[in-house]
């Protein structure tokens, strides 16, 4: 099982969508997680809407902190460009994707970020 963790500050947009795309596209040998260094406690309604457009229900996800995820060594830890360092998260490989935070973007711009995240997840997991 390849354990993959996606991290951003609030765990309400980018990391949530990345986890969802890993669930959508990955094989059964991948287990995806997401978390935030300072979780907002909610999933951004625009993230829910943009994922609903492609047939995924993100409203079932929860905004989680780094303390809420399994304390294991991850095969891949991805930060979303928000400067989050994950010193307490053990990882075989780390990547920073430097993806703009779509939180305050209009929905058309939000969709561009969603699609970028999907492309990066597929590339990272070699899907």
Active-site residue flag, 59: no
Most confident of 11-20, 74-83, 118-127: 11-20
Model pLDDT for residues 64-105, shown as the tens digit of each residue: 999 999 999 999 999 987 665 666 788 999 999 999 999 999
Q: Assign 10 to helix, strand or coil.
A: coil
112 is an active site residue: no
User: Can you give the pLDDT at residue 26?
Assistant: 86
Distance CA 124, CA 22 (A): 10
pLDDT of residue 115: 98
**How much is the pTM?**
0.93
| Average of per-residue pLDDT across 22-51 | 93
| All domains in the chain, ordered by first residue | 2-124 (3.40.50.2300)
Question: 46 an active-site residue?
Answer: no
Tell me what pLDDT residue 1 has.
79
With CA atoms as reference, report the closest residue to 81 among 102, 67, 107. 102
Residue of 5, 7, 8, 76 with catalytic role: 8
The single-letter DSSP state of residue 51 is H
| Count helices and strands in the chain by DSSP H and E runs | 3, 4
Annotated active-site residue in 23, 24, 69, 86: 86
Interatomic CA distance for residues 32 and 106, integer angstroms: 27
Distance CA 86, CA 76 (A): 12
């Amino acid at each position: 099982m390849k354990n993959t963790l996606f991290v951003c500050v609030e765990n309400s947009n980018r990391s949530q969508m990345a986890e969802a795309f890993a669930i959508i596209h990955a094989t059964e040998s991948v287990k995806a997680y997401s978390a935030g260094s300072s979780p907002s406690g909610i999933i951004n309604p625009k993230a829910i809407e943009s994922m609903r457009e492609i047939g995924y229900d993100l409203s079932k996800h929860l905004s989680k902190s780094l303390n809420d995820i399994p304390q294991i060594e991850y095969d891949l830890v991805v930060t979303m460009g928000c400067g989050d360092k994950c010193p307490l998260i053990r990882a075989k490989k780390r990547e920073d994707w430097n993806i703009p935070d779509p939180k305050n973007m209009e929905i058309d711009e939000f969709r561009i970020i969603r699609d970028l995240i999907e492309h990066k997840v597929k590339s990272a997991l070699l899907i």
